[in-house]
A and B are shown apart, each in its own frame.
Chain A
């Protein structure tokens, strides 16, 4: 029983990170009909900024807000530099552009920093554990669950309660109608990228705390997991992204825990097979997907 609860908490912690990334992927898909394969670059750029600051002696109190801010700025910058100018092109062009951004950022860090990973100190408490009701939990898992819960509540509040959130949801449902109501395309898309960047930045904080590593492809796996979670939940459905993220995290942790040691390297492969099986029965993911149009 104790083991199951620990795994549940571990899975929710991991899933929370994926949910934060998936929510951003879903937001951007909603307003632009784009599966943004450059979404991980926010983590990559944040990782190198953290590495630079850590070298200069900055503490994690400085690194945390810097990582989040870097992710927001990177996200907005990527939208402005890479996507705004091809927005009226086909979905395929947008997809290729997002791959292009990923490879350009990766190549830039290989060329100007190093192809190998750069390590920096993780916070001292990252491996600490705490005992609650006789069960030991990793502090980082509890911190992630708390932070992702607050972040997701904040994101839901922005989307549900503010007029800007309503504008994002309106644009995600029907961009032409949103424009008819006076919503500015550039503004609403920038807001969606900023919010997606904020969520990815919070995920990046914990990802970098766990790994303490900057690498040219640092954001690749988190991005792929985020896209997968968004697909599982139903691409374009924001609630679906959260559900998909949590589910993916739980399944991943359970597989790691219960698979025999000699095949636990196949966890990602098994997850993809499970997702394929899910799509056979629910081709649109867990929640039904509505149409999305790009302005």
Chain B
């Protein structure tokens, strides 16, 4: 069992919300009043060009980056000031960009450390489940994780994040640097997790592929949300894909979005107001 599917059936209840989040790296501001909402059991895609701020959104959610302004709510509680390790204990997990596998630890040790927050007995049981689920991990269980290929390391990164049975899984560029066939396997896994009712936020630079795997999506450019709506409908907007290829929001006829994003799964919204920056 990958997730506690029985207990996390899809609901329409809001699991996570970001309200006007601003994040800076020193003097450089990366996010300008980002607001979004994620329902329980929903798969949300964050799309946008390089440097748009997609990863910064995930880092703000998981607590790696403290917002200068704004509020993050999870299961109705304000978690803006909570450190990362407490957010993990509340049921969040991140599959980080570049996998961040602990190369000097074995595959099994990576999994056990991934289950640090679990009781001791459950930790080993859960690691065994993951090893059974992922064939490659079974074969390389006792090997140092540093010897894994990119695709194998990605599977380990995902399995490690799934160890504590998170309710909300954040995935940052899960197919970055992977061969097309391996990337397709990763998206197959995302689909499986989605079908099992896990709430997912996925960042990927391939907009078509990630939109095909999501319920709703947010298009981020230069730290602003410029579009949001149902993934199906955004996938049909050819003008948006132009903006991925280097055009500005204005080129694509899209203006930065102000105020709380709607996160609707039904409509594509093109707000009329400018940035709240």
Contacts and interface: CB of A to CB of B under 8 A. Distances in A.
Nearest to A176: B64
Contacts of B96: 177, 180
Interface stretch (A47-55, A102-110, A163-171): A163-171
B100 A177 contact: yes
Interface residues of B, number: 25
Contacts, number: 59
A182 B64 contact: no
Interface of B: 62, 64, 83-85, 88-89, 93-94, 96, 100, 102-105, 109, 112-114, 116-117, 120, 123, 160, 164
Contact of B112 (A163, A177, A185): A163
A174 B120 contact: no
Contacts of A180: 62, 64, 84, 88, 93-94, 96, 100
Contacts of B160: 181
| Chain A interface extent, by class | 10 to 19
14 contacts: A163-B116, A166-B105, A166-B109, A166-B112, A167-B116, A169-B104, A169-B105, A170-B102, A173-B104, A176-B64, A177-B96, A179-B85, A180-B100, A183-B113
B113 A166 contact: yes
Interface string A161-203: 0010011011001101111111111000000000000000000
Contact of A179 (B84, B104, B120, B164): B84
Contact of B102 (A163, A174, A184, A185): A174
Contact of B85 (A163, A170, A177, A183): A183
Given A166-B113, A169-B102, A173-B104, 5 more contacts: A163-B123, A166-B109, A174-B102, A182-B88, A183-B85
Given A182-B85, A182-B88, A183-B85, A177 B116 contact: no
A182 B114 CA distance: 8
Contacts of B62: 180
Contacts of A169: 102, 104-105, 109
Most buried by B among A163, A169, A182, A185: A182
A65 interface: no
Contacts of A178: 113
A179 B89 CA distance: 11
Contacts of B94: 180
Interface string A249-272: 000000000000000000000000
B104 A290 contact: yes
B116 A182 contact: yes
A30 B62 CA distance: 24
A163 B112 CA distance: 7
A181 B64 CA distance: 12
B154 to A, nearest CB: 14
